Structure 1
Amino acid sequence: MMLFTEVRGLPVVAPDGAGPLGTVTSLTVDAVTGSVSHVRWRGGRFGPEAALPWDAVCALGPGALRVRSAAAPESAPPHHDLLGRRILTDTGTGRGTVLDVAFDPRTARLLALFTTRGEVPADRLLGVGDYALVVRAG
């Protein structure tokens, strides 16, 4: 298990180990599959942000995120950072704010959402939008 906050800031390293390509800025989640779909990273302090599909990740550990290729895909899905996002249930009740997200680094499946009002199982995630993250009431 890893947390989003543990991944943010990790160096992105090419498979040849030639040095860091950049730094992880965030992870994009696909609410339909309940998993991380893309890794977003920046090559320098003022460089543009790039997105790589999770399939391009070959290893993830506490020291770095190693990728198979740094070639950016033609298009990446819209990104909504989960950290700090407001949470609403499908009935409109507020459930706090996302503090962190646990996921399996091998499969990219989300495991749990840690919020200001407690833990929410990842299988309750219904969608992520500009305003809030929506979870099934339960």
Structure 2
Amino acid sequence: MMLFTQAMGLPVITADEAEPLGRVEALTIDARSRSIACLRLSGAPKHATAVAWNAVEAVGRDAVIVRSRTAADPGQSGFPVHREALGHRILTEHGAAHGTVKDIAFDPATGEVRTLYTAFGDIPGDRLLGLGSYAVVVGA
């Protein structure tokens, strides 16, 4: 497992030429599949601003390796709109508050969201139902 907070700021480099593409600025979650859809990059002036998760070869403690310059413009590639989950409130499907998201654990091989960590306790990733600008919604 890896945490979102551990992935933030990691350099993103290509496997074929070891070319730096930027750093992980954010991870965009696709709530339908309960997995990471793409990496949002910062510091990538000559490259696109996002890399699809299926282009990721490996995520380690020191870097993220992608197959090649398989980066795409998030506005045109079908990536979900980025909604920040960290720090946002959590509501159950019945509207009950469950604190805020402190961190998120994901499988670095598949991008699957495994656990949402809150001050009120851990929530399994398979309970994730939605992610919007107001809240993260989870099944009760």
Same fold (TM over 0.5): yes
Partner of 1:56: 55
What whole-Å deviation, never above 9, does each CA across 1:70-117 have from its counterpart, x for those lacking one?
A: 343232320011111110011111100001000111111111000121
Q: Please state if 1:102 is matched with 2:101.
A: no
Identity %: 49
Runs of 4+ aligned structure 1 residues displaced above 4 Å come to 46-49
- Please report the RMSD computed on the Cα atoms of aligned residues, expressed in angstroms: 1.8
Whole-angstrom distance in 1 between the partners of 2:47 and 2:13 = 17
Give the number of equivalent residue pairs.
136
Q: Please state if 1:8 is matched with 2:5.
A: no
The letter for the 1-side match of 2:30 is D
Q: Which runs of 5+ in 2 are unaligned?
A: none
Q: Please state if 1:87 is matched with 2:90.
A: yes
Structure 1-normalised TM-score?
Answer: 0.90
Q: What SS does structure 1 have at the residue aligned with 2:85?
A: coil
Instruction: Flag the 1:133–1:48 CA change in 2: closer, same or farther, 3 A.
Output: farther
1:1-138 matches, cutoff 5 A:
1-43=1-43, 50-73=49-72, 74-75=76-77, 76-137=79-140
Structure 2-normalised TM-score?
Answer: 0.89
Q: Which runs of 5+ in 1 are unaligned?
A: none
